[in-house]
Chain A
Amino acid sequence: MPTLTYRDALNQALREEMQRDPTVFLMGEEVGVYQGAYKVSRGLLEEFGPLRVVDTPIAELGFAGIGVGAAMAGLRPVIEFMTWNFAVLALDQIVNSAAKILYESGGQVPIPIVFRGPNGAALQLAAQHSQAWDSWLAHIPGLQVVAPATPADAKGLLKAAIRDNNPVIVLEGEMLYNVKGEVPEGEHVVPIGQADVKRPGQDVTLICHSKTVTVALQAADQLAEHAGVSAEVLDLRSLRPLDEAAILASVTRTNRAVVVEEGWPHAGIGAQVVDVIQRDAFDQLDAPVLRVTQADVPMPYNKQLERLAKPSVDRVVAAARRVLYLD
C-alpha cells in the first residue's frame, strides 16, 4: 500500500471523485491557480479546468451560498474554506440553507454538498485563527460532520462525503496535512458514522478524533510503559452521526473513559459523548468519565501559553490515571 501524506490523500480523493462524477466541482479561495492555500488541490486546475476548479473572491458567505444553490440544481459542490475560522462568515448558508432546505421543502430538494477545510489550532496563529468548530457544526440537524485523523481516513471519508446526498462537513487538521500513512489505492470509502479502534485495550477507553487521536495514542503508549495500563484508543471519525454503538461497546469492555477534543469544554463534543455513556452504559462505569479539552480561553499567541491551552499527552495520561484510581 502506498504511503501518502494526509494532504495528498485528500487530493487523491478529490481527483478520483472528479474523474468519476462530472457533477463534482471544487470551489474556494486559492484552490485553482495558487494550487490551494495548503496545496490540497494541487494539479486539479490543470486536469479539470477553470469551470470545475473555481477560484473565488474572499467572500465566504457568497461562495458557500453558490455551492448550496448549485447543489439545489443538481451538482455536487466541494466548497473549500481556507480555514474554518473564516467559514463562520458563511454559517448562514451552512446552517440556514444547506442544513434546512431538504426539510423545509418537505423532502423535495436534497443538498449534496461538502464543506471542507482545516479546523482547530495550528501553531502560534493566535485567537482568531486557532479554533475548533466541531461542536458548533455537529449541533445542527441536517448536517453530517466528519473529522479524519489519518491519511487513509481522510481519503475514505472525503470520498464518502462527496458521494453522500446531504451536506457533509469535513474537518481537516492543519497540523495533520504533513502526516504520512498508508492509503489504499482507488476505491476506498470510509462510511460516515463509523468510529474506529485505533489501538485496542482493556482498562480505559480514550475517545478522540482528528488531531487528538495522535495525542491519545501517545498517552496510551505512556500508560502502557509506566503504569502497565492497557488503553483503548477509539477514534470517533464522525461527529454526526456519532457511532454510539462503538462508544458503548468499548466502554462496556473497559468500564472507564476519557474524552479528548480540541474544542472548548463548554457544550463540547465530549459533553455529547459523556451523555451517551451515562445514558446507556451507566451500569458499566467504574468511574466518572473525564474530559480533556482546550483550556476555556481564546487561544493565546505565546508559545508556552499555547502549549498549556491545548490538550496534551500529560493531561490525557493524568485523566486516565484518575479514572483508573491510580492516583
Chain B
Amino acid sequence: MATATAPTPPARVPAELQRRWLRQMLLIRRFEEKAAEAYALGKIGGFCHLYIGQEAVAVGSLAALRDDDYVISSYREHGQALARGVSANAVMAELYGKATGTSRGKGGSMHLFDASRRFMGGHGIVGGHIPLAAGISFAIKYKGGDQVCLCYFGEAAVNIGAFHESLNMASVYKLPVIFCCENNRYGMGTAFERVAAVTDVVEHACSYDMAAELVNGMDVLAVHAATERAVARARQGGHPTLLEVRTYRYMGHSMSDPLHGVYRTKEEVEEQKKRDPIAQLTHRLTEDGALDATGLDALEREVRAEVDEATRFADESPDPDPTELTAHVLAD
C-alpha cells in the first residue's frame, strides 16, 4: 500500500463528542500540571515524563477504539491512560507509588497498567514495547478476533532496531496493529533531524509495504479521523498502519530536564504553543456555538475538582505493604 498524507477530516463529529474530547484533553493538561507540582514537592519520585502539548494525540486516537481493543505505550503514557478511562485517582496514586495505584505502586510513572481496560502498560526502554504490540496483535489474529492493538511511541524510537523488526513482521504476518508515532521533534535533547537520515517517519512504511499517514497532532479531529481509517484497515483483514502524528511537547523530556535551552529556544516553544490543541478545539467549539464561556468554566471546574480529588486520594492512600516487595515476581 502506498504512503498517503492526511486528508482534511471529512465527517462531522457531533458537538457533544467534541466537548467530551475537550474535557479529556483538559483533564490530561490539569493532571500533568498537578503532577509537575507534586514532583516539585517530592511526592513523585524517579522519572516523570509529562504529556502537556500532546493531548490531542491520545484523546483523538483512543476515541477511535473499542473497549476490547488493546493499547500499549512508552513511558510518556499518563495522557493515554487517562484518555483510555483509567481513573485519575489510580494514575496519580501510581505516580505517588501508593498501594492504590494502577500497578500497586510498583510500576510508577513509566509502568501504568490496567488489564481490565486492555491498557497493556507503559514501557521504559525506548522502542522495546513495539514488538509487544506486534505480539498482542499476533494473538488477536491467532484467536480469530477483530480487535486491534494501538501502539504509541516517540519519533526517537524509529531509530532503534525493534521498530524495524516489528514493522517488518507486522506486515509479513498481516497483523491488526496501528503504530502511532508521536513525533514531538526531540528525543530527549536531540532534534530528530540531527540523528535521522529520513526525517519523515511515514517514509519508513515504504520499506515494509505498509499503509501510513502523516497527521496533524495538534488537531484532535484529524488524529481521530486518521486513526479511524487505520483501525478499519486493521479490523478488515489485519493490515497494519504507521501513523506519524506531528505534535510538540511543551515540557522538558522528563521532570529533571529543562523546558528549553541548549537544544531548542524559548521562542520555538512559545511559537508552538500558538497551535495548542486545547485552544484550537475550544476556539472551534466556541465559533460553532457549541460552547460558551460558562460551559468552558464548568468544564474547567469539573476537571480541576477531579484532579484535586486524585491528589488527595494519592496523598491519603497507604504505601504498599512490605509483603508486596516479593509478591508478583512470579505468577502462581
Contacts and interface: CB of A to CB of B under 8 A. Distances in A.
Interface of A: 25, 51-52, 54, 56-57, 59, 61-75, 77, 92-93, 96-97, 101-110, 112, 141-142, 144, 165-166
Nearest to B133: A69
A165 B136 contact: no
Interface in B101-155: 101-107, 111, 113-115, 120-121, 123-125, 128-140, 142-143
A75 B165 contact: no
Nearest to B177: A69
Please report whether the interface of chain B is mostly helix, strand, loop or mixed according to DSSP.
Answer: mixed
B121 A104 contact: yes
A308 to B, nearest CB: 37
Nearest to B132: A69
Contacts of B135: 65-73, 77
27 contacts: A25-B142, A59-B165, A61-B165, A62-B131, A62-B162, A62-B166, A63-B131, A64-B131, A65-B166, A66-B134, A70-B136, A71-B135, A72-B120, A72-B136, A73-B140, A74-B139, A75-B142, A101-B121, A102-B330, A102-B331, A103-B106, A105-B121, A106-B105, A106-B106, A106-B107, A108-B115, A109-B115
Interface of B: 70, 72, 101-107, 111, 113-115, 120-121, 123-125, 128-140, 142-143, 161-162, 165-166, 168-169, 172-173, 327-332
Contacts of A57: 165, 168-169, 172
Contact of B330 (A61, A63, A166): A166
Nearest to A109: B115
Nearest to A27: B138
Contacts of A141: 329
Q: Which 3 A-B pairs have the closest CB atoms?
A: A69-B135, A65-B131, A62-B165
B113 A69 contact: no
A178 B121 CA distance: 43
Given A62-B165, A142-B330, A106 B101 contact: yes
A74 B143 contact: yes
Nearest to A60: B165
Contacts of A59: 165, 168-169
Contacts of A142: 329-330
A71 B120 CA distance: 12
B331 A106 contact: no
Contacts of A56: 169
A73 B165 contact: no
A70 B138 contact: yes
A106 B102 contact: yes
A65 B132 contact: yes
A141 B168 CA distance: 31
Nearest to B112: A105
Contacts of A70: 135-136, 138-139, 142
A159 to B, nearest CB: 18
Given A69-B137, A106-B105, 14 more contacts: A54-B173, A57-B172, A62-B162, A65-B130, A66-B131, A66-B135, A69-B136, A70-B136, A93-B128, A97-B129, A107-B327, A108-B113, A109-B113, A109-B120
A96 B104 CA distance: 19
Q: Which has the most chain A C-beta neighbours within 10 Å: B123, B131, B329? A: B131
Contacts of A66: 131-132, 134-135, 138, 166, 169
B201 to A, nearest CB: 18
B113 A105 contact: yes
A318 B216 CA distance: 72
